Structure formats: C-alpha cells, structure tokens
Amino acid sequence: MSVPADSAPGAPEIGVETPFQRFRAEFFESWIAAFALGLLGLIVVLALLAPWITPQNPYDLGQVDVLDGKLPPGSRAYTGYTMWLGSDGAGRDLYSAILYGLRISISVGVASGVIALVIGSTIGLIAAYAGGRVETVVMRLVDLQLSFPAALIALMLVAVMGRGIDKIIIALVAAQWAYYARTVRASALVESAKEYVEAARCLGLGHARIVFRHILPNCMAPLIVVGTVQTAHAIALEATLSFLGVGLRQTEPSLGVLIANGFEYMMSGRYWISFFPGIALLLTIVSINLVGDQLRDVLNPRLKK
C-alpha cells in the first residue's frame, strides 16, 4: 500500500550508512538474538572441528565396539578414554557421535530448507504473477505434492538409489517445496493486486524485476516464518524418517538417527542415549529459530519505524 517500491532491503540507494552496518546494528539490538547467534556459531564450530576434538570416529566400525554399548555417562571405554556423555547401543561414544551427527543434521536441514525455499517460492511467485494455465498447473502439482507422504518418497528413494545424505535431502525437498509455493503464492496474490505493482507495471518495468524486486520482498514475512519453522521441521522429519527405518544409514548417524535409536531405550532408564542428542538438537533448532526471528524482523520492510 504505502510501501514505496524501492525500500526493499539491501537496495543500494538507501542511506549513507552501508546497509550491512545498519543491518548489524539492528540485529544486535536484541541480546537474545545475539546470544543465539553466538550459540549457533559455537555449535557450527564444534561440528566442523569434530574430527579433531573427539576421542572416537563414530563412523569407523573398527573403532566402535558393541562391548562398550549403553555405558552410562562418565564410564571408561575399553580403549581407555572416558565417555562423558555415555555411549549408545552400538558402543559409540555419544559425545563424538553428537558432534559428528550435528554436521549431518545441520547440513541436511539447511540444504533441504534452502533448496526447497528457493524452488518453492520461485514457483509460487511465478504462479501468482503469471496466473492462467501456468497457475493452474502449478497449483494442482502443489495439491499433488502435499498429498504425497514423505515416507513414501523416502521409501522409493531408498529402494531405487539406496541410502545417503543426498537422497534424504531430495526426499525432504520433495516433501517441502509445496509449502513454500503455497505460502508465497497466497501472499503474492494479495501483493499483485496492490497499487504499487500496478504502478510498476505502468512504468513498464520488466516482469522479473517486478516479481523479484517488488513483490517478493513484500512476501518475506510469512516466508521467513515458514522457512525457519520448516528448516527445523526438516531436521525433525529426518529423525522421523529414521524412526520409520528409511532415514540415514545407522552406522553414520545424524542427531535424528541417534534420537530415533535412543527411542527404544527411553522406557528402560538409559535416558542418556536419546536425551543428550535430543538436547543437542533442541539447542541447535532453538538458536536457528531465534536468529531467524530476528532476521525476519530486521529484514521486513514493513516493520521500519
């Protein structure tokens, strides 16, 4: 409505302050967001350094011994080191397994989230802007996709191509792009009908410019909400697929696989097998989302005072 077309974020013609400086200042207004960013940074660094700061490579079957299995936190493993967080059923040191698992979980969640967001919102925008047959076909494909269970996609992928991180990312993208498409289309429909889009059209601006520079920024708020939630959800969904037996390979566990494996120990009093991976997952997702929340508020052109 009243939003001037060129107030889109990152537009270079704004202010004397560079956009990044302004962005940084606004981001750190909230100490919670700052703390979350710090925590997220720490988690990422720990995950990256995993091979150098863990006593065991949990993916090397030669280093994992089932005789070390299910040891409570603080026990000593046969090979001598102390398992501060205990071990899982297969004898993996949970501290090592969690750090290695973080790498997989974060990359799977972020990769599938970003790919699904890009594909989905592009498709949604095009559908809304183009209208007509294109919109019809796209939206019916969305209907089809939304009705298709992720477990079925994953089962088919495992059957045809086997297991692997790339397959799980494909399954998660396939399961999620339609959400973005649907959400973006809904907002874009509203925006397309607004005066500024008509004004832009009258000015003879190109379609791509109108769609990506004018409509998209105004659809960002719901998109980022869905995006942060879905990225977190992707990580949890990966755990659920593992729970259903079609996730990642059990000998190279992600956090989700660790939790799914620990699931069966929950009633037995060996809380640590799924508790510690659960805490790690929780911290990761909470910090991603706190950062995402602040990003959304800072990037949203309509919250400018």
Residues 77-136 close enough to bind other proteins by CB under 8 A: 89-91, 131-133, 135-136
- Residue closer to other proteins (CB basis): 78 or 84: 78
Least Å distance between CB 78 and other proteins? 11
Residues 139-158 within binding reach of other proteins (CB under 8 A): 139-140, 142-144, 146-152, 155-156, 158
Least Å distance between CB 196 and other proteins? 13
Indicate if the alpha-carbon torsion angle 210, 213, 218, 224 is positive or negative: positive
Does position 205 bind other proteins by CB under 8 A? no
- x/- track of binding to other proteins for residues 171-190 (CB under 8 A): --------x--xx--xx-xx
Quick check: 56 and 92 in contact, CB under 8 A? Answer: yes
Least Å distance between CB 6 and other proteins? 18
What are the angstrom distances between the C-alpha of 148 and each of 142, 171, 216, 259, 282?
Answer: 10, 11, 27, 25, 28
Taking CB under 8 A as the criterion, the residue among 45, 53, 66, 118 binding other proteins is 66
- Residue closer to other proteins (CB basis): 16 or 160: 160
- Residue closer to other proteins (CB basis): 11 or 266: 266
Quick check: 185 and 143 in contact, CB under 8 A? Answer: no
DSSP helix/strand/coil, 76: strand
Structure tokens at 64: 């994992």
- Residue closer to other proteins (CB basis): 91 or 101: 91
What are the angstrom distances between the C-alpha of 106 and each of 86, 157, 159?
Answer: 23, 21, 25
Other CB atoms within 10 A of residue 275 CB: 18
Please count the residues of this chain forming the interface with other proteins, following the rule CB under 8 A. 92
Q: What beta strand segments (E) does 81-128 contain?
A: 82-83
Residues 245-304 within binding reach of other proteins (CB under 8 A): 245-246, 249-251, 256, 259-260, 263-270, 274, 278, 281-282, 285-286, 289-290, 293, 296-297, 300, 302-304
Indicate if the alpha-carbon torsion angle 223, 229, 232, 236 is positive or negative: negative
